[in-house]
Structure 1
Amino acid sequence: MSISLDITQDRKALDRSNIRRVVISSWIGNTIEFYDFLLYGLASALVFGKIFFPTISPLAAMLASFATFGVGFIARPLGGIFFGHMGDTLGRKYTLMITLGGMGVATFLIGCLPTWAQIGVWAPILLVLLRFIQGFLVGGEWGGAMLMVVESAPANRRGLLGAIPQTGGFSGQLLATGIFALITLLPEDQLMSWGWRIPFMLSFALVLVGLYMRRRLDETPVFKAVQQREQLNPTTEPGEKASSPVVEVVRHQWRSILLIMVLRFAESVPFFMATVFAVSYATSQLGVNKQTMLNVVMTTCVLAFPMHAFFGMLSDKVGRRPIYIFGALCAAAMAFPFFWLLESGSFVLMVLGYILLINIAHNSINAVQPAFFTELFGPKVRYSGASIGAQLGAIVAGGFTPFIAKGLTALDHDDWSYVATYVVIAALVAAYAAWRAPETSRRDLTLDH
Structure 2
Amino acid sequence: MTAPRSSPTQLRRAVASSYLGSVIEYYDFLLYATASAVVFNQVFFSDLDPVVGTVASFGTLATGYLARPLGGALFGHYGDRIGRKRMLILTMGLMGVASVLIGVLPTYDQIGALAPILLVLLRIAQGVAVGGEWGGAVLMSAEHATSRRGLWASFTNAGAPSGMVLSTLVLALAAQISGEEGFLAWGWRIPFLLSAVLLAVGLFVRAKVDETPVFAAAATAARSRPPLLEVLTRHPRTLLLSIGVGFGAFVGQGTLTVFVISYAVQAGFPRPVVLNALTASSVVAVAGIVGFSALSDRLGRRPVVLGGAIALAVWAFLIFPLIDSGSTALLVLAVVVGQGVVHASMYGPLAALYSELFPTRSRYTGASLGYQVAGTGAGLAPVVFASVMAGSGSTAAVAAIIAACCLVSVGCILALKETSRADLTTDAEADAPLP
Letter in 1 for 2:388: L
User: Aligned partners of 1:310 and 1:53: how far apart in 2?
Assistant: 41
Which of 258, 262, 268 is matched with 2:244 structurally?
A: 262
Q: Paired residues, what number? A: 427
In structure 1, the residue matched to 2:433 is none
In structure 1, the residue matched to 2:154 is 163
User: Aligned partners of 1:223 and 1:390: how far apart in 2?
Assistant: 20
User: Aligned partners of 1:115 and 1:351: how far apart in 2?
Assistant: 33
For residues 366-405 of structure 1, what are the structure 2 equivalents within 5 Å?
A: 366-395=347-376, 397-405=377-385
Letter in 2 for 1:441: S
Q: Scaled by the length of structure 2, what TM-score is found?
A: 0.96
In structure 2, the residue matched to 1:86 is 78
Q: Deviations over 1:156-175 (max 9, x none)?
A: 30011111221100110000
User: Aligned partners of 1:270 and 1:360: how far apart in 2?
Assistant: 12
The answer to whether the aligner puts 1:173 opposite 2:152 as a matched pair is no
For the Cα contact (< 8 Å) 2:158–2:290, is it kept in 1? Answer: no
For the Cα contact (< 8 Å) 2:246–2:347, is it kept in 1? Answer: no
Q: Scaled by the length of structure 1, what TM-score is found?
A: 0.93
In structure 2, the residue matched to 1:410 is 390
Kindly, what percent of the aligned residue pairs are identical?
43
User: Aligned partners of 1:308 and 1:127: how far apart in 2?
Assistant: 32
Give the SS at the match of 1:326. Answer: helix
In structure 1, the residue matched to 2:270 is 289
Residue 50 of structure 1 and its aligned partner are, at CA, apart by 1.0
User: Aligned partners of 1:15 and 1:384: how far apart in 2?
Assistant: 26
For the Cα contact (< 8 Å) 2:31–2:168, is it kept in 1? Answer: yes
Residue 59 of structure 1 and its aligned partner are, at CA, apart by 1.2
Q: Deviations over 1:400-420 (max 9, x none)?
A: 1111110111222x3311111
Residue 348 of structure 1 and its aligned partner are, at CA, apart by 2.1
Which of 421, 428, 436 is matched with 2:415 structurally?
A: 436
In structure 1, the residue matched to 2:214 is 222
User: Aligned partners of 1:442 and 1:184: how far apart in 2?
Assistant: 48
For the Cα contact (< 8 Å) 2:358–2:366, is it kept in 1? Answer: yes
Residue 188 of structure 1 and its aligned partner are, at CA, apart by 2.2
Q: Which moved more, 1:186-195 or 1:91-100?
A: 186-195
In structure 2, the residue matched to 1:183 is 174
User: Aligned partners of 2:391 and 2:112: how far apart in 1?
Assistant: 31
Which of 288, 291, 304 is matched with 1:323 structurally?
A: 304
User: Aligned partners of 1:145 and 1:15: how far apart in 2?
Assistant: 18
Q: Deviations over 1:338-386 (max 9, x none)?
A: 1121122323222222233222221012211111011000000000001
User: Aligned partners of 1:223 and 1:15: how far apart in 2?
Assistant: 15
For residues 329-344 of structure 1, what are the structure 2 equivalents within 5 Å?
A: 329-344=310-325
Residue 89 of structure 1 and its aligned partner are, at CA, apart by 0.2
Which of 342, 345, 357 is matched with 2:338 structurally?
A: 357
In structure 1, the residue matched to 2:205 is 213
Give the SS at the match of 1:380. Answer: helix
Give the SS at the match of 1:184. Answer: helix
User: Aligned partners of 2:232 and 2:365: how far apart in 1?
Assistant: 9
In structure 1, the residue matched to 2:103 is 111
User: Aligned partners of 1:219 and 1:199: how far apart in 2?
Assistant: 32
Residue 254 of structure 1 and its aligned partner are, at CA, apart by 1.3
User: Aligned partners of 1:192 and 1:119: how far apart in 2?
Assistant: 16
RMSD of equivalent CA atoms: 1.2
For residues 230-309 of structure 1, what are the structure 2 equivalents within 5 Å?
A: 230=221, 234=222, 243-284=225-266, 286-309=267-290
Letter in 2 for 1:446: T
For the Cα contact (< 8 Å) 2:135–2:364, is it kept in 1? Answer: yes
User: Aligned partners of 1:158 and 1:309: how far apart in 2?
Assistant: 11
Give the SS at the match of 2:329. Answer: helix
Letter in 1 for 2:49: S
In structure 2, the residue matched to 1:311 is 292
Give the SS at the match of 1:400. Answer: helix
Letter in 1 for 2:404: I
For residues 46-61 of structure 1, what are the structure 2 equivalents within 5 Å?
A: 46-61=38-53
Unaligned runs of 5+ in 2: 430-435
User: Aligned partners of 1:129 and 1:308: how far apart in 2?
Assistant: 32
For the Cα contact (< 8 Å) 1:226–1:379, is it kept in 2? Answer: yes
Greater C-alpha Rg: 1
